[in-house]
Amino acid sequence: MKISRYIFISSMLLLLAATAVAQENKAVNTSKPWEFKGVSVSADLFGTIGRIMNDFTSYEVAVSANFGNRFFPVVEVGHGSTDTTDETTRIYYKSGAPYFRVGLDYNFLYKKGGELSNYKIIGLVRYGQTTAKYDVTTPPMTDPVWGNTTSLTLTDVEADCSWLEFGVGVQVKVWKNLHMGWSLRYKSRLKDGKGDSSQAWYIPGYGENKSGSFGGTYNIIYDIPLNRK
Amino acid sequence: MIHNRKNIAITIVALLTVALAAITGCDKGYDCELDNTSYDNIAFYTIEDGKEEAYIYQSPLTVSLMVNGEESVMINHVMNTDRVSLPMSYTQERDTVIFRYDDGLCDSLYIDHTNTPYYQSMECGTLMFHKLEGLKSTNVWIEDAAIVNDIVNFEGHENIKIYFYK
């Protein structure tokens, strides 16, 4: 929750900066809505430091196409993993799997030209999917009536999961073709991968297996130059 | 100019909406069960003129489980009851339930079942579910018994019907 607030505050500051520039800049982008303007690649830094804030680590890259500086179809691929033991329940959980998301970014500042074309305020939608395998080892459970104990060890349990994401983001040009940006996303689970003996606790690309949650990305983006004559 | 303001206003509203949701709407988390034992629900019935009717056992009824060779009372002298819920063994494949009536007589109900530990989450831990495989009973006051839902979990379904002589 603190992270979400931090992202929000940062986004608002960037928004204010963009608005201030807008008041001084009258230039207009004259591109047609579906005019192809290039391809960008990006990497998410937020997931790589996720281990500091929670039990999950992910590595993610994305490719997006720019149409009229307005529509940005996006493909995000990554690998998420966890390897942890809960301090209270003493349950050990290990999982790691690739995931992908496809979707669209919409730049609300698509009409801006000049200085303001260095900024993007984005609305985004994604569909994500993964097939995760996980191992679980539980400590002995004691039968409260009979007093016997039993435990559960599961290996390579497969969970097919999918989800939707909606959110907003901000991108700012840093230097030449290099941009940086945030996105804040609400994630809504579609398929939880529930099995006969368990359900996945961690869904790579989604996070903890809850019906809905918030997440974020911090991206370094590089616009691949087009060699047009 | 008006169009610019409109776009920026839309953007601000969108950001504020999402931010408000992030700040006020907490993650939808798990609803952990309070204990990790699921109970089989046994309901009482009688047959009247060939028709099944719910049956309220009005006299004092004591319900026990055979635990490690000894009778362990689960429900003591309950009156006016039409159902009981009982824990099931985590490791045994047959539980013996004893119904002791106020006339000093008793019936035994033998429940065959399998046991399946269910991993719920890191926070909630592990639960124990059961599947009913068979049922037998003595016939002092119990005329018949039947499995109506073989999965014993936390959904509170009626699992077993006991038909008492009227």
Quick one: what percent of chain A has pLDDT higher than 90?
42
pLDDT at A93 over 90: yes
Indicate if ipTM > 0.85. no
Which chain B residues have a beta carbon less than 8 Å from that of A22? 4, 8
CA-to-CA distance for A217 and B164, rounded, in angstroms? Answer: 64
Which chain A residues have a beta carbon less than 8 Å from that of B120? 198-199
Q: How many CB atoms lie within 10 A of CB B93?
A: 12
Residue B87 touches chain A, beta carbons under 8 Å: yes
The answer to the question of residue A90 being in a domain is yes
pLDDT of res. A152:
87
Which of B6, B13, B27 should we substitute to test contact with A (largest number of A Cβ atoms within 10 Å)?
B27
Contact A6, A180 (CB under 8 A): no
Which chain A residues have a beta carbon less than 8 Å from that of B37? 143-145
In this complex, do A184 and B22 lie within 8 Å of one another by their Cβ atoms?
Answer: yes
pLDDT at A17 over 70: no
Closest Cβ–Cβ partner in B29, B122, B128 for A91: B122
Q: Which residues pair with A221 in a beta bridge?
A: A42, A179
Question: What is the chain B residue with the closest CA to A207?
Answer: B27
Is the pTM value of this prediction over 0.80? no
Which chain B residues have a beta carbon less than 8 Å from that of A138? 117, 119, 125-126
CA-to-CA distance for A187 and A189, rounded, in angstroms? Answer: 6
Compute the nearest-CA separation of A136 from chain B (Å). Answer: 8
Number of domains in chain A: 1
The answer to the question of residue A28 being in a domain is no
Q: In the structure, what pLDDT confidence band is assigned to residue A173 with cuts at 50, 70 and 90?
A: confident
Which of B8, B15, B23 should we substitute to test contact with A (largest number of A Cβ atoms within 10 Å)?
B15
Residue B15 touches chain A, beta carbons under 8 Å: yes
Q: How do the pLDDT tens digits run along chain B, 166 residues long?
A: 445 555 555 655 566 565 555 544 445 555 676 667 789 999 999 998 889 999 999 999 999 999 989 999 999 999 999 999 999 999 999 999 999 999 999 999 999 999 988 888 888 888 889 999 999 999 999 999 999 999 998 888 899 999 998 7
Q: In the structure, what pLDDT confidence band is assigned to residue A27 with cuts at 50, 70 and 90?
A: low
The answer to the question of residue A52 being in a domain is yes
Closest Cβ–Cβ partner in A1, A111, A152 for B126: A152
Using DSSP's 3-state secondary structure scheme, residue B16 falls into: helix
DSSP assignments along A114-178, one per residue: GGGGGEEEEEEEEEEEEEEEEEEE-PPEEPTTT--EE--EEEEEEEEEEEEEEEEEEEEEEETTE
- For A22-31, A184-193, A213-222, which range has the lowest pLDDT when averaged over its residues? A22-31
**By residue range, what is the domain housing residue A164?**
2-20+36-224
Mean pLDDT of chain A: 83
Q: Where are the domains of chain B?
A: 39-164
Closest Cβ–Cβ partner in A5, A108, A136 for B7: A108
pLDDT digit string (tens) for B144-153?
999 999 999 8
Question: What is the chain A residue with the closest CA to B95?
Answer: A146
**Mean pLDDT of all residues in A83-107:** 92
Compute the nearest-CA separation of B2 from chain A (Å). Answer: 12
What CATH number is associated with residue A115? Answer: 2.40.160.20
